[in-house]
C-alpha cells in the first residue's frame, strides 16, 4: 500500500482555516504563525495536485474539490483522535476488548439494555458476545476465552454473582394430543409423547436438563428452533417464557396443565475470569449487567442518545 502524501496534521490545519474563517484565525487557534499555516496548506495543494482553497476578498473559501476532500478528512481525523485516545486508555489499564459469553436462555432484552448503557462509557472498548447452551458457557469460561459469563449453573471453582431467575414453561400446540385430554397432566402422560430438547453446546461433559422421560426425543440446536417445532405441533418442550410470549399471545403455544413441574425458575449467575484481573471497562460492564438484570422485560427500551 502506498504511503499517504498528506499528514493528519495537514488535514487538521486545513480544517482550522475553514472552521475559523481564515489563515490568521487558524494560526491563533493552533498557536502557530500565520506563515506556517499558509505554507502547510500550500504544500498540501502541491502534494495533492488539486486546489483546495481560493481567496474571495479577504476570506479563504473552499473549492469544490476542497469541499469534498475536507468532508472526507473530518472522519479520518476523528478516527485518528479516537485511536490515540484508545492507546492512552490502554496505557492506563483500560481494556481493548471484553469477551462476554451468555447462556442462550438468558433474556436478550437485558443484555441489550446493559450493552447500550455501556457503549457511551466504553472509551472504544469492544464487546465480543458469544452465545452457548448449558455447559457450553462453563466450558468457555474454563478455557479462559471469556472475561465474563452468564450461566444457569453453579460453576465449580468460581464465585458467581446471583442474577434473576428465568421462567421455563412446559408448552405444546393447543391442538396437541396432550391438550385434547382436557385434564390435569402427569409425567406419565408425557412418556409416550415426543419431547423436543436443546442440544448442549459443551463438548467435554454435555448435560441434559429438565425432565427427559419421554420415549421419543428430538434434539435441536437452538431455543428458536425448538419453539418453531413445538408451535407447529411437533412435540412439547420446556421453553423460556420471554422467548415465546408472542406464540403464547397468538395461540400457537399453550402451557401444559401439569400437576407438578409445569414451570421451572432456574437462577442465573454472573461469573468473571478468575485468572485475569478485572479492568475498569469490565467492572463497569459487570455493574451494568447487574443493574439491568432486574429491569422488567415488558417495559419499552429507549436507547441512549449518541454524542
Residue 303 CA to residue 4 CA, distance in Å, equals: 38
Residue 60 cell numbers, joined: 479563504
Q: Is residue 24 part of a domain?
A: yes
User: How confident is the model at residue 307, as a pLDDT?
Assistant: 40
List the chain pLDDT tens, one digit each, 307 residues: 566 778 888 888 888 888 888 888 888 888 899 888 888 888 888 888 888 888 777 777 888 888 888 888 888 888 777 667 556 555 556 788 999 999 999 999 999 999 999 999 888 889 999 999 989 999 999 998 999 999 999 998 898 999 999 999 999 999 999 999 999 999 899 999 999 999 988 887 776 666 677 788 899 989 999 999 999 999 999 999 999 999 999 999 999 999 988 999 999 999 999 888 888 899 999 999 999 998 776 555 455 544 4
Residue with cell 500550500: 42
52 neighbors 70 (Cβ within 8 angstroms):
yes
Confirm if 144 and 99 have CB atoms less than 8 A apart: no
**CATH label of the domain that carries residue 58:** 1.10.10.10
Asked if 96 and 90 count as a contact pair (C-beta separation under 8 A), the reply is: yes
Q: Within this chain, do residues 117 and 76 fall inside the same structural domain, yes or no?
A: no
Total of domains in the chain: 3
The answer to whether 130 and 99 are in contact (CB under 8 A) is yes
Classify residue 306: in a domain, yes or no. no
Q: Domain for residue 283, yes or no? A: yes
Range(s) of the domain holding residue 47? 8-91
Same-domain check for residues 152 and 111: yes
Asked if residue 46 belongs to a domain, the reply is yes
| pLDDT in the model for residue 3 | 64
Query: What pLDDT, on the 0 to 100 scale, is given for residue 177?
Result: 95
Amino acid at each position: 500500500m502506498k504511503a499517504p502524501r498528506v499528514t493528519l496534521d495537514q488535514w487538521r490545519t486545513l480544517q482550522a482555516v475553514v472552521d475559523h474563517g481564515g489563515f490568521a484565525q487558524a494560526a491563533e487557534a493552533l498557536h502557530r504563525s500565520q506563515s506556517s499555516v499558509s505554507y502547510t496548506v500550500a504544500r498540501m495543494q502541491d502534494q495533492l495536485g488539486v486546489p483546495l482553497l481560493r481567496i474571495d476578498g479577504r476570506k479563504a473559501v473552499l473549492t469544490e474539490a476542497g469541499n469534498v476532500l475536507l468532508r472526507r478528512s473530518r472522519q479520518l481525523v476523528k478516527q485518528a483522535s479516537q485511536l490515540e485516545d484508545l492507546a492512552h486508555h490502554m496505557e492506563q489499564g483500560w481494556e481493548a476488548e471484553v469477551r462476554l459469553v451468555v447462556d442462550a436462555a438468558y433474556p436478550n432484552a437485558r443484555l441489550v439494555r446493559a450493552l447500550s448503557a455501556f457503549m457511551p462509557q466504553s472509551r472504544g472498548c469492544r464487546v465480543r458476545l458469544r452465545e452457548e447452551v448449558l455447559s457450553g458457557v462453563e466450558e468457555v469460561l474454563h478455557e479462559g476465552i471469556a472475561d465474563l459469563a452468564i450461566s444457569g449453573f453453579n460453576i465449580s471453582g468460581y464465585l458467581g454473582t446471583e442474577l434473576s431467575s428465568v421462567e421455563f414453561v412446559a408448552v405444546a400446540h393447543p391442538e396437541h394430543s396432550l391438550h385434547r385430554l382436557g385434564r390435569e397432566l402427569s409425567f406419565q402422560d408425557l412418556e409416550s409423547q415426543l419431547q423436543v430438547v436443546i442440544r448442549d453446546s459443551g463438548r467435554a461433559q454435555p448435560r441434559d436438563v429438565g425432565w427427559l422421560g419421554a420415549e421419543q426425543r428430538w434434539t435441536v440446536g437452538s431455543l428458536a428452533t425448538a419453539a418453531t417445532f413445538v408451535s407447529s405441533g411437533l412435540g412439547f418442550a420446556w421453553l423460556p417464557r420471554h422467548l415465546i410470549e408472542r406464540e403464547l399471545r397468538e395461540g400457537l403455544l399453550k402451557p401444559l396443565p401439569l400437576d407438578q413441574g409445569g414451570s421451572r425458575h432456574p437462577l442465573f449467575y454472573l461469573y468473571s475470569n478468575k485468572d485475569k484481573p478485572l479492568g475498569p471497562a469490565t467492572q463497569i460492564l459487570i455493574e451494568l449487567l447487574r443493574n439491568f438484570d432486574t429491569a422488567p422485560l415488558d417495559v419499552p427500551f429507549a436507547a441512549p442518545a449518541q454524542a
